[in-house]
Chain A
Amino acid sequence: MSVDVLTAGHYLILSAILFCLGLTGVLLRRNIIVMLMSIELMLNAVNLAFVTFSYFNQNIDGQIMVLFVMAVAAAEAAVGLAIAVSLYKKFKDLNISLFEHLRG
């Protein structure tokens, strides 16, 4: 990795930083909505890695995969937010520890 020319390493390390940031958010926050946003951050980091490999390997498949990941991420956000809303209706709070009261 050199400083004066952009290499694949620049993008891949940025992607790794973003992914670990999202992982930190998922593990350390308690609010379900913030956790879902951190998951979106992680998916974004993976998309960045896909496009990087697509560009540096001259292969179009990476960009197609990004489109699939985006569609699944949007669907996942919709379901996660629906669960968050139903949890809020029952407990009037969005803390992740409330999930343990959901049995039965």
Chain B
Amino acid sequence: MTDIILFYFLATMTVLTGVGVVMSENPLFSALYLVLSMTGVAGLFFLLQAPFVGAVQILVYAGAVMVLFVLVIMLIDINKSGEKYIGGNAAALFKGLAIGIFSGLVSAVVLRSPIVAKPALSNGSYTVLEIAKVLFTKYVLAFELLGIILLVIPIGVVALSRIKGGTHER
């Protein structure tokens, strides 16, 4: 019974703060709402017996990525940016229609799949040792490729931020 109450609490918090991210006029409020949303998802990970992933979620998302967002918001003048939402009623109508069709498709697929009625099991969570064993044997190639990406990305970011003016000027 406790986990149902906890689930509905975390789900409500995550969805409401998600609406806050999308609807806030001020990007800084969006960022702060996003921290709460990430924390709610981390709580759901703990509820799903994945404590390691939940801890990494808080460390990486609510910690590192959000600091990056807030620092960039600090660099810019947020009060100067003009239109907040896309212009034109026709474009908004078509985009709303596309979102509606997509969400209907997703919910139809979810509700018709046989996994929906599967009840929760009462087994223990995976330990960090078990996760590491799979990560460094079965997925070791993907892990190495991830290392290459994380090497290339900082170089690209430094190169991008050194560009002055247009794309072809130095």
Interface of A toward B, CB cutoff 8 Å: 1-2, 4-14, 16-25, 27-31, 33-34, 36-38, 40-41, 44, 47-48, 51-58, 60-61, 63-64, 66-68, 70-75, 77-79, 81-86, 88-90, 92-95, 102, 104
Minimal beta-carbon separation of B90 from chain A (angstroms):
14
Minimal beta-carbon separation of A99 from chain B (angstroms):
11
Distance of A40 Cα from B86 Cα, bound (Å): 20
CB-based contact B111/A58 at 8 Å: no
Q: How many residues of B contact A (CB 8 A)?
A: 86
Instruction: For B31, list chain A residues within 8 Å (CB).
Output: 33, 37
CB-based contact A51/B45 at 8 Å: yes
- Among B3, B19, B48, B72, point to the contact of A21 (Cβ < 8 A): B19
Q: A5-B120, A58-B123 are in contact. List 9 more A-B contacts (CB 8 A).
A: A6-B3, A12-B110, A16-B106, A18-B37, A24-B99, A37-B31, A40-B34, A67-B56, A74-B65
Interface of B toward A, CB cutoff 8 Å: 3-4, 7, 11, 14-15, 18-19, 21-22, 24, 27, 30-31, 34, 37-38, 41, 44-45, 48-50, 52-53, 56-57, 60-61, 64-65, 68-69, 72-73, 75-77, 80-86, 92, 95, 98-99, 102-103, 106-107, 110-111, 115-121, 123, 126, 130-131, 134-135, 138-139, 142, 146, 149-150, 153-154, 156-157, 160-161, 163-168
Of all chain A residues, the one with the shortest Cβ separation from B142 is A68
Chain A binding surface, main DSSP class: helix
Pick from B4, B48, B57, B84 the residue with the most CB of A within 10 Å. B48
Chain B binding surface, main DSSP class: helix
Take A1-B117, A79-B157 as given contacts and tell me if A64 and B68 are in contact as well, using a CB distance cutoff of 8 Å.
no
CB-based contact B37/A41 at 8 Å: yes
Minimal beta-carbon separation of B28 from chain A (angstroms):
9
CB-based contact B153/A79 at 8 Å: yes
Of all chain A residues, the one with the shortest Cβ separation from B153 is A75
Pick from B64, B65, B98 the residue with the most CB of A within 10 Å. B65
